[in-house]
Structure 1
Amino acid sequence: MLRFPVFAVFFLLAAAGWSAADAQEKPSGPQPSQCQAIAQSLPKATFASFSNQGPTPANDPVNGDVKITFLGHATLFIETPGGVSIATDYSGAYPPPYTPEVVTMNKAHPSHYTLTPDSAIKYVLHGWSDTPGEPAKIHLTVGDTLIRNVVTDIRSWGGGIEPNGNSIFIFEVAGLCIGHLGHLHFELTDQQYAEIGRLDVVMVPIDGGLTMGADSMSRVVKRLRSSLILPMHRWGPPVDQFLALFGPDFDVAYAPTPSVTVSVKTLPRKPLIYVLKGL
């Protein structure tokens, strides 16, 4: 297992240009990413994983369950051990059970964002920059959760390319690295994989073409090597067409409910594609 001292992580962030000023919202305090490592810049490197560690004390930051609920389309509701609530790709069309503290958005389609969110939402994080030509830069700590983004290009409505129009949002909480690929239109570069780092849980669009084809998306999933894969954004092709692209190296299961509860201790040892009810 690869381990890096805290000062080394701070050095890497500084070298990459990260700072507290990179947040679109004022962070509660600087916090380095625990999901990135030097080795991730190498395509064939094995990412560090915490899934096989022993018992943790009750006050340890990696001790706790994260609940993820599929609400609809690309909106999933994340509830952390520290009480932080997050709705992904929030448009207001798929309301959570209560007002979330944080919402993330992507502007590829109106079903992924709203310009008139509930005023009670404390943090509204856009996956695009309000400054033309600039990438969105988010590095924000809310309670027990570090939220950051990695930008990707998208296809524009006119058929061209819109640079940095999508954000992959990453939520680091309870020792887990949880990623939402957003409206991903192109396969990731080595640099983007390195910026993402380790993802224990990944939420993946499986529409088969509105984002990108199932073959391309399956290659991204295989490269990320996440323990838990949660399909989302199904539109058109049945789920089985996406699942058929994975061989015996992946398990598949259908959830009896729209929710899954996950922790460092309960991550599957073999990658599991888990289809939440309602997809």
Structure 2
Amino acid sequence: MLLRCLAYTLALIWLIHALWPEQAHAQQTPAPVSQCQAIAEATPMATFVRFAMPGATPAAAAGEGEVAITYLGHSTFLIETPGGISIATDYNGWFRTTSPPTVVTMNKAHTSHYTLTPDPAIRHVLHGWADDGEPARHALVVGDVYIRSVSTDIRSGFGGMEPNGNSIFIFEVAGLCIGHLGHLHYELDDSHYRQIGRLDVLMVPADGGLTMGAESMSRVVARLRAALILPMHRPPLIDDFLAMFGDDFDKRFATEATVKLSLRSLPSKPLIYVLKGI
């Protein structure tokens, strides 16, 4: 009798499992969907526009869903999300934060953009290159932020070119699309713009040609047309960089190293915002 009851029980369990809807017990996590990239895939030549909310300012002081961006130095910004995730861009270990970032991104054009000995407390270390020369492909959800990468080439010694040596990292959080160009050496083509999609915030090298010439960089900035543009890297001639942009862009020098923003607080006209420390 006991064996018969056991057999009936096992048969019932098998039957329930076999007839149960697939999606109910598979519990598979769907692939992340980029809200910043969706339209760009179909319209690679598009220049995106946005409409400001009434009373919007470039750095709102309060409100839910704010992202804080702090310039630490060189090409390193600290991005702090509403959900408590912290990200350091082009992390080299030189610029310390109160606590280790949750995520760091790196590029390898120069040692000032990466370290091979990061703090072990950092949970996610994302290299902007792959050791086999293939594009780095990042698509990672950490807390309330989706992080993905778009690969670009870099210059190598003696006038050569190294494929896929740099990554443009894109952070999608609180409805915002935030992009960091890394150590960009060449102008982007339509395939890059299609992969990047819409950007609301753009971190851009302004260095007089250490990455690429100011005119080339200004064309990239104009095409991406982010609402908020944050210069970085080595801009000793920041005024020359600003002069490359006409009346279609506002320019402002910040009194602080941090800007706090939300989707509602983006400026309606593209603003080049030079954070303190540049």
CA distance in 2, matches of 1:48, 1:175: 15
Shift in Å, 1:118: 0.2
Q: Which moved more, 1:30-39 or 1:216-225?
A: 30-39
Contact 1:29/1:141, CA 8 A, preserved across alignment: no
Partner of 1:257: 256
CA distance in 2, matches of 1:39, 1:125: 24
CA offsets 1:138-177 (integer angstroms, 9 cap, x no match): 0000000000000000001332100000000000000000
Bigger RCO (CA 8 Å, 6+ sep):
2
What SS does the aligned partner of 1:215 have?
Answer: helix
Show the 5 A alignment for 1:15-34: 30-34=31-35
Contact 1:65/1:261, CA 8 A, preserved across alignment: yes
Partner of 1:118: 119
Partner of 2:266: 267
Larger Rg: 2
CA distance in 2, matches of 1:175, 1:165: 29
CA distance in 1, matches of 2:226, 2:150: 17
Q: Which moved more, 1:38-47 or 1:103-112?
A: 38-47
Shift in Å, 1:208: 1.4
CA distance in 2, matches of 1:271, 1:38: 20
CA distance in 2, matches of 1:209, 1:230: 17
Shift in Å, 1:39: 4.4
What SS does the aligned partner of 1:34 have?
Answer: coil
Code of the aligned partner of 2:247? P
Q: TM-score, normalised by structure 2?
A: 0.83
Contact 1:153/1:186, CA 8 A, preserved across alignment: yes
Between the two proteins, the alignment pairs up a number of residues equal to 244
Partner of 1:143: 143
CA offsets 1:98-149 (integer angstroms, 9 cap, x no match): 210000000000000000000000000000012x231100000000000000
Q: TM-score, normalised by structure 1?
A: 0.83
CA offsets 1:2-44 (integer angstroms, 9 cap, x no match): xxxxxxxxxxxxxxxxxxxxxxxxxx86321000134455354
Contact 1:63/1:264, CA 8 A, preserved across alignment: no
Sequence identity (%): 67
Partner of 2:72: 71
Shift in Å, 1:209: 1.2
Partner of 2:82: 81
- In structure 2, stretches of 5+ residues that fail to align are 1-28, 56-62
What SS does the aligned partner of 1:265 have?
Answer: helix
CA distance in 1, matches of 2:54, 2:144: 20
By percentage of residues, which structure has more helix? 2
Code of the aligned partner of 1:226? A
Partner of 2:241: 242
Partner of 2:208: 208
Code of the aligned partner of 1:246? F
Contact 1:50/1:175, CA 8 A, preserved across alignment: no
Partner of 2:110: 109
Contact 1:41/1:191, CA 8 A, preserved across alignment: no
Cα RMSD after superposing both structures: 2.1
Greater than 3 Å deviation, 4+ residue runs? 38-44, 48-54
CA distance in 2, matches of 1:271, 1:92: 32
CA distance in 2, matches of 1:186, 1:66: 29
CA distance in 1, matches of 2:30, 2:144: 11
Contact 1:35/1:198, CA 8 A, preserved across alignment: yes
Partner of 1:59: none
